[in-house]
Chain A
Amino acid sequence: MSCERCKEKMVDALAGGEGAVHGELAAHLRACAGCKKVYEAQVHLFGAIDSGVRAMVNETAPASLLPRVRARMEETRAPRLVWRSAWSVVAIAAMILVISLGFVRRSRPLRDAGLTKAPTGVAIRTETVPFAATPREAASTAANPRRRPGNKMETRINRPSGVPEVTVLAEEHQAFVRFVARIPADPQKAVALTRPAPPQQDLPVEIALLQIEKLKVKLLEPTTEE
Chain B
Amino acid sequence: MRELVLTQPGRVLVGPSEREDESSRAHREFEERLVECGPLAFRVAYGVLRHAADAEDAAQEALLKAYRNFGRLREPARFRGWLVRIAFRLALDRWRSAKRREKRETQWTGPEQSAAGPTTEELAVSSEFQARLDRAMEELPEKFRLVLLLAAIQGYTLEEVSGMLGIPMGTVKSRLFFARKELAEKLR
Which residues of A come within 8 Å of B, CB atoms? 11-12, 14-17, 41-42, 44-62, 64-66, 68-70, 72-73, 76-77, 88
Contact = CB atoms under 8 A, between A and B. Distances in A.
B63 interface: yes
| A contact face: mostly helix, strand, loop, or mixed | helix
A15 B177 contact: yes
Interface in B15-60: 16, 27, 30-31, 34-35, 38-39, 42-44, 46-47, 50, 52, 55-56, 59-60
Given A48-B120, A48-B123, A53 B149 contact: yes
A59 B46 contact: yes
Interface in B163-183: 173, 176-178, 180-181, 183
B92 interface: no
A17 B172 CA distance: 13
Given A11-B184, A57-B152, A76-B68, A52 B60 contact: no
B176 A17 contact: yes
B157 interface: no
Contacts of A42: 184
A44 B56 CA distance: 32
Contacts of B120: 41, 44-45, 47-48
B187 A45 contact: yes
A11 B60 CA distance: 39
B86 interface: no
Contacts of B188: 45
Interface residues of B, number: 49
B90 interface: no
Contact of B42 (A17, A49, A61): A61
B46 A76 contact: no
Contacts of B46: 56-57, 59
Contact of A49 (B31, B50, B68, B133): B133
B73 interface: no
**Which of B43, B63, B152, B181 has most chain A Cβ within 10 Å?**
B152
B133 A53 contact: yes
Contacts of A16: 173, 177
A7 to B, nearest CB: 11
Contacts of B16: 88
B150 to A, nearest CB: 8
B152 A53 contact: yes
A44 B38 contact: no
Nearest to A64: B56
A69 B67 CA distance: 10
B124 interface: yes
B152 A61 contact: no
B153 interface: yes
Interface in B63-97: 63-64, 67-68
B114 interface: no
B134 to A, nearest CB: 8
Contacts of A53: 47, 133, 137, 148-149, 152
A55 B52 CA distance: 13
